[in-house]
Structure 1
Amino acid sequence: MIEGQETKVMSVRDAIIEAMSEEMRRDENVFLIGEDVGVYGGDFGTSVGMLEEFGSERVRDTPISENAISGCAVGAALTGMRPIVDVTFMDFIVYMMDNIVNQAAKTRYMYGGKGSVPVVFRCAAGSGLGSAAQHSQSLEAWFCNIPGLKVVAPGTPADVKGILKAAIRDNNPVIFLEYKAQYNMKGEVPTSPDFVLPIGKADIKRVGKDVTVVTYGRMLERVLKAADKALEKGIEVEVVDLMTLMPLDKEAIINSVKKTGRVLLVNDAHKTGGFLGEIAATITESDAFDYLDSRILRLAAEDIPTPYNHSLEVAMLPDVNRILKYIERLYDKR
């Protein structure tokens, strides 16, 4: 999706800083709010240098009160501002739920389209840093159940930049997942301030004919590595990177499943009640169901609170070898 554009190598962390900074230069109504976003530069370093450029009016440190932060942001959005909320750990979003679910998501509907709430909630999601049970969750399925919210989860530095810029420009509240275990991951990122990716559009990260793997966010990297190993065994895997969960690009999923007849769904959230079930239902309710040559498989995190112990934390998540084994299971049923 970056073919023909001038790029430079940067980390996910730097892509986030660049996306926010470009949008704040473009639109004076955009501002960043959250705990430690100013002087400290963000708990994960995702706003380093922004206070110096934009000042304390637009890079606003707050008390430790997620309810107050989200209330201020939603109220500011209602008056025409475009807040970016640094939620820090996604787990803390539970304190923001009323403002997000009952206020931000509902306003446009309740006022016949006359009110909009252009606010982005940036959530550091997932495990991998030894942050244990209360600081390691991926809660995207909660928000996909709420009409009025958009939910995005890009998995590469370039996609992070392009989708974050789109989220900031969107007139609806957006839940933006960024994976703290990937802040240091590097890749080619377009340097143009005009680089924006569409919300609601999936990307085929790898073309194949034998098995479809649908994934997003942190698991994309592992799925692509598993696909490389599968190719060594003669299995051509097509990788569908959703990037946006709501609204879901159903067409991209259905077209890929029709081509391969086999599908594996992978994410790092808990399996039971998770978003993978919604994707599976989308396939079975469509005409892609008639093209299936095997049952749909889901591979997700174990249904346990994230352990602090490193070995247990690693074991609860899908890794490259487990993903490969699931791909082989599907292919062997040809």
Structure 2
Amino acid sequence: MKAIKFYKAGGPDVMQYEDVRLDAPGPGEVRLRHTAIGVNYLDTYHRSGLYKLPLPSGLGFEAAGVVEAVGEGVAHLKEGDRVAYGAGPLGSYAQARNMPASRVSKLPDSIADDTAAAMMLKGMTVRYLLRETYKVKAGDTILWHAVAGGVGLIAVQWAKHLGARVIGTTSSPEKAALAKSFGCDEVINYTEENVAEQVRGLTGGKGVPVVFDGVGQATLDASLDSLSPFGLLVNFGSASGPVRNFDAGTLADKGSLFLTRPGLNTYVETDEALQANVADLFEVVGSGAVKIEVNQTYALADAVKAHEDLEGRKTTGSTVLLP
């Protein structure tokens, strides 16, 4: 079968589309034939070397597909089942693969394959951020950076479903209009406006109790300056580069603030936690409360182009590779 592999860290062109041997599934595993594969900014961190991996390596954490073979000891899945996964292990950029069956979830009929591939990692991320890292409740006002991206559009809808007011940031009028069409209450264009000043103006000078920031270093100061006293900055990504050389005393100076750097793997470390997360995600998507926007599709063989467009900020919503 064909898969994407890379042998050295670097730009999109280090990815190679090549033949890979796939053995029969072992005990506790299933073999999946992928029908759609999710693309996430996290994939660029692995490919570029920002997050170190043993090389050579595959890429990708999420996909949807069909069970083609079942290993010994697997009882909850059978051949022909439609399934999806979103928490690894690494290697979803492939036509087929073997997966630990306990990390795979059976898809309900109400969710299409491309939707599932586009929503698993991003949706599971939003779920832990909004329901565990900071438990968003009705009446909260939250700030979400890069609100027109795949994670951001899911987050806007889920936060509105919980009764929150959402302020978002983005880089263009077109992306702002997209975010508003998904329910974002206010959108700040960070290329033209001072984010913290706008947030203060929109909150009567109070600031917000929580900022969800997947951008990283470039938005750090604006995020901190947007928080109310005792507020929480949730830095869950590093699209502009990781936060470095941070002085913890800044948190005291700006209002006894809190800063956390969470990751999905910790929140879904056990199979039980993973399936609880997925059940919530399937519920909000299946009910229509959260709609998944697949705005770009590429052939698996064109993964280089997909990464170029993603890093060039030419994409909105979710991106899917078709094997």
Where is the helix percentage greater, Structure 1 or Structure 2?
1
TM-score normalized by the length of structure 2: 0.31
TM-score by length of 1: 0.30
Q: Which has the higher strand share?
A: 2
